[in-house]
Structure 1
Amino acid sequence: MTTRTRALDIGPTSWVVRPRLAICTGIGVVTTLLLMVVGLSVGFTTPVDTARILLGGGRVAENIVVFDDLLPRVLIAAFAGFGLALSGCLTQVITRNPLATPDLLGITSGASVGVVLAVTSTSTGFGSVFASIGVPTSALLGGLATAFLMYLLAWSRGQVVTSTLRLILIGVGMTWMMQAVVGYLLSRADVHDSSTAQRWIVGSLGGTGWSSVAPVMIAAAIGLAWTAIIARPLTVSGLGPDVARGLGVRLGVVTYGTLLVAVVVASLAVSAAGPIAFVGLVAPQIALRLAKTAQPTPVFSGLIGAAMVLLADIVCRGALPGGLPVGVVTAAVGGPFLIFLIVQTARKSSV
C-alpha cells in the first residue's frame, strides 16, 4: 500500500515528498526526544526539572546525576536502537524479506563473539588481540567476518542477490554457530568477566558510559550518510533486480554497499548496548505500517527503533524489577511479532 506523493522542485532538481511519511517522521523525532527526557527523569526527578537541568539550571549534584550517569545511557539507548533498526531496514529492503535482519542473519551474533573475546580474554593468547583493539573494533571484525562467511556460503554464480530463503537459512545456522562459540568462551572465562559478558549478551544499558557513546553515534552517522547517498537506487532495488536493472540501477554497488553498511552499523550498535533482540526486525515493520509505504524507510525505521529501546529502558527502570536488561523487554515484544510475520509471509506465499 503506497501513500500519495508530491514533487518538490528546487532549482534544477526534483524531490519526491510523501506527506504521510514526512508527518510520521516528524512525530517520530518529537516522540524520541520526549522519551529521552523521560528516560533522564525516571527514578530521579520530573521531566520538567530534567529540562531545567539540561538548559543549565541544575545544581552540582543534579548535573552529576544527569550528565555523568543518565545522559550517556539515554544517548546509547537512542542511537543503538536507531542503528539496529536502520540496519534491519536496509537488509529487509535489499532482500525483499521482512525476516532478513541482523538478528536472524547472524550478524549480531558474530559481533557478540568479537565483544566476548575482548571482554573475557586474558593478557596472553589469541584473544588478547581483541582485548588490545577494544570492544567496538572487535564487534566490527566479528560482524564483518560472520557476514562474509554467510554470504560466501549463500552465493551462487551469476547472481548479484542470492536466494533470500537460502540466505536466511544459512544466517540462522550462523547465528547458532556463533552462539555456540559465545557459550564456549563464557565457560572458559573468569567468573567475573563471564558474568559481565553474559549480562551484556542479553542486551543491557547498565554500566554504560561516555566511552560507548561515540561508536553508536558513528554508526548512526554512517547509516544516515549512506541512506542519503543511495536513497533512490535503494528504493528502486526493493522492487526486484529485473526492474532495478531496467531503470539503470547499478545493482551490485547498491546491494553489496548496503549490506556492508548494515553490517557496520549493526556491529557498532551491538558493541555499546549488546545484541538487543528483535529491534531490527520489529521497528521497520512498524514503520512500514504506520507510514503505509511500499517498503520500510531507513530513517523512520531508525526513529521507531530508538523509541522502542528508550521505552524498554524506561519500563525496565520504572516498572520492572531493578537491573533487568532492556533485551528482555524487546524479546518479549519481538517474539510474538516474529511469529506474526512468519504466519503472514506464509499466507502471502500460498496465495
Structure 2
Amino acid sequence: MTHRQQSPQRKFPHRRIHGGRSVLSVGPATWPLDPRLLLVGAGATILVIVLFLISISIGFTTPVDVARILLGGGTRGENVVVFDDALPRALVAALVGFGLGLAGSLTQIITRNPLATPDLLGITAGASVGAVLAITMGTTWGAWLAELGTPIAALLGGLVAAALMAALSYRRGSDIGMNTLRLILIGVGLTWTLQAVTAYLLARAQEWDASRAQRWIVGSISYATWQVVPAALIAVVVGIVWAMISARDLRALGLGLDTSRSLGLRVGPVVTGTLVVAVIVASLSVSAAGPIAFVGLLAPQIAMRLAATPQPTPVTAGLTGAALVLFADVLTRTALPGGLPVGVVTAALGGPFLIYLMIQAARKATA
C-alpha cells in the first residue's frame, strides 16, 4: 500500500481564488486582490514617478535626463545639482504627501467619517505647536525641545494633542474607550485652541524665528534638505507596515462597529493602535514640511472614488497624497508666483472639497 506524500505548505506569496475573489496569501496573512484598486494604485504610482522626475528637472534639465542622472549617468556638476539640491525637495514632497494621505485614511476608517482627518482632529495642530516651540523658543525655556530636534518636538506635540482628544472624548463602558462623534467635535475645538497657542508663540518670538516658523506653518518644502528626509521616511515606513499588518481588521472596521464585533474583531485595540499610528505618521510628516493643509482630507476621498472602494485604502491614499503634493510643488514653481508654498495650493483645492463633503453629509442625514 502506497501513501501519497503530502506537499509542504507554501510559505512564499501566491495567488489563489477564495469565495470567487482573487486573494494574495503570505503564510497566514491574506489580502483580497481588487483589479480596479490595483489599476488605480499602478496609475497613481506612475503619476508619482512622472511628477517626481518633473519636480527635479524644473529649471535645470528634462525628466529624461533626470532619470539618467539618478541611474548613475550624470556628470559631476549634474550630480551636485540633482543630489544636493533638487532631490531632497522632491523626496520630501513625495514622502510627506504619502504620509499625510495615509494618516488621513486611517483616521477616516476608524471614525467612518470623511471629515475626520489629522487636520481637523487637532493632530497636526498639536504637532505644529511642538515644532513652533522648538523653532521660536529654542534659545529660552524651549531649548530642550530644540535640542531634541523639530521632528521629535512635532511628534511629542501630536501625541499630547491626541492624548487630550482621547481623554476628553472618553466614554465609560465602551470597548473602544471613546465616542467617535465626540472625538471629531472635540478635535475641531482642540484644533482652534492649539492654533491660538501657535499664534501666541509667534507673537512672542523674535522676528527671524517668527518668520521661519510662519513659513513652516503654511506648509512649504522650498527649504527641504536631507536632514528632514529621515523623519518623513520613517513616517511612511511605519504607516505602510501597520496598513499591511492590520489590513483585514481595517476592512472589518469599515463594516461598522457592531458587525466588526460579531466577526470576532477586538475593536478597542485595533482602533487605539490605528489612532496612535496615524498620530505618529502625521506628526513626523508635519515635522518635515509643516502642516500642508487638506492633503489628509483630499487624498483618501479621491483615491476611494477612483478605486470605487467602500472605504479609503491607506496605501492608495498615500500614493494619491504624494501625487497631490508633488503636483502642487510643480504648479508653484511653473504657473504660479515664485516662492508660493505648496500649502496654499492644497488649501485652495481642499477648501471647496470640504464644503462639498459637508453638503453631501448633510443631504445624507436629511434623506
Instruction: With the length of structure 2 as denominator, give the TM-score of the two structures.
Output: 0.92
Structure 1 pair 97–123 and aligned structure 2 pair: CA distance change class (3 A): same
Per-residue CA distance 1:258-317 (angstroms, 9 max, x = gap): 000000000000000100000000100001100000101000000000000000000001
Give, in whole Å, the separation in 2 of the partners of 1:75 and 1:49: 18
Structure 1 pair 48–6 and aligned structure 2 pair: CA distance change class (3 A): same
**Aligned twin of 1:307:** 323
SS in 2 for 1:8: strand
Give, in whole Å, the separation in 2 of the partners of 1:124 and 1:326: 31
Q: CA deviation at 1:11?
A: 8.1
Structure 1: gaps spanning 5 or more residues: none
CA contact (8 A) 1:91 1:102 kept: yes
Give, in whole Å, the separation in 1 of the partners of 2:34 and 2:212: 45
Give, in whole Å, the separation in 1 of the partners of 2:26 and 2:179: 42
CA contact (8 A) 1:5 1:16 kept: no
CA contact (8 A) 1:283 1:301 kept: yes
Structure 1 pair 45–260 and aligned structure 2 pair: CA distance change class (3 A): same
Does structure 1 residue 335 correspond to structure 2 residue 351? yes
**Aligned twin of 2:157:** 142
**Aligned twin of 1:191:** 207
Q: CA deviation at 1:10?
A: 4.7
Per-residue CA distance 1:57-90 (angstroms, 9 max, x = gap): 2222211111000100100000100000100000
CA contact (8 A) 1:5 1:19 kept: no
Q: CA deviation at 1:122?
A: 3.7
Give, in whole Å, the separation in 2 of the partners of 1:51 and 1:31: 15
Per-residue CA distance 1:118-173 (angstroms, 9 max, x = gap): 11114332x11211110000000000000110111111111216333321111111
Q: CA deviation at 1:9?
A: 6.3
Structure 2: gaps spanning 5 or more residues: 1-18
Does structure 1 residue 133 correspond to structure 2 residue 148? yes
Q: 1:174 aligns with which of 187, 190, 196?
A: 190
Give, in whole Å, the separation in 1 of the partners of 2:285 and 2:135: 16
CA contact (8 A) 2:219 2:293 kept: yes
CA contact (8 A) 1:5 1:18 kept: no
**Aligned twin of 1:60:** 76
Structure 1 pair 9–322 and aligned structure 2 pair: CA distance change class (3 A): closer
CA contact (8 A) 1:39 1:74 kept: yes
Q: 1:290 aligns with which of 278, 301, 306?
A: 306
Structure 1 pair 36–250 and aligned structure 2 pair: CA distance change class (3 A): same
Give, in whole Å, the separation in 2 of the partners of 1:286 and 1:29: 15
Query: By percentage of residues, which structure has more helix?
Result: 1
Structure 1 pair 128–18 and aligned structure 2 pair: CA distance change class (3 A): same
Per-residue CA distance 1:101-127 (angstroms, 9 max, x = gap): 0000010000000000111114332x1
Does structure 1 residue 266 correspond to structure 2 residue 282? yes
Structure 1 pair 12–109 and aligned structure 2 pair: CA distance change class (3 A): closer
CA contact (8 A) 2:24 2:33 kept: no
Structure 1 pair 158–203 and aligned structure 2 pair: CA distance change class (3 A): same
CA contact (8 A) 2:41 2:316 kept: yes
Alignment length, in residue pairs? 347
- The structure with the larger Rg is 2
Does structure 1 residue 45 correspond to structure 2 residue 50? no
SS in 1 for 2:276: helix
Instruction: With the length of structure 1 as denominator, give the TM-score of the two structures.
Output: 0.96
| Two-structure CA RMSD over aligned residues (Å) | 1.4
Per-residue CA distance 1:189-229 (angstroms, 9 max, x = gap): 11011000000100000111001000000000000000111
Q: 1:72 aligns with which of 88, 98, 104?
A: 88
SS in 2 for 1:98: coil
Does structure 1 residue 249 correspond to structure 2 residue 265? yes
Give, in whole Å, the separation in 2 of the partners of 1:85 and 1:15: 21
Give every structure 1 segment of 4 or more consecutive aligned residues whose post-TM-superposition deviation is greater than 6 Å: none
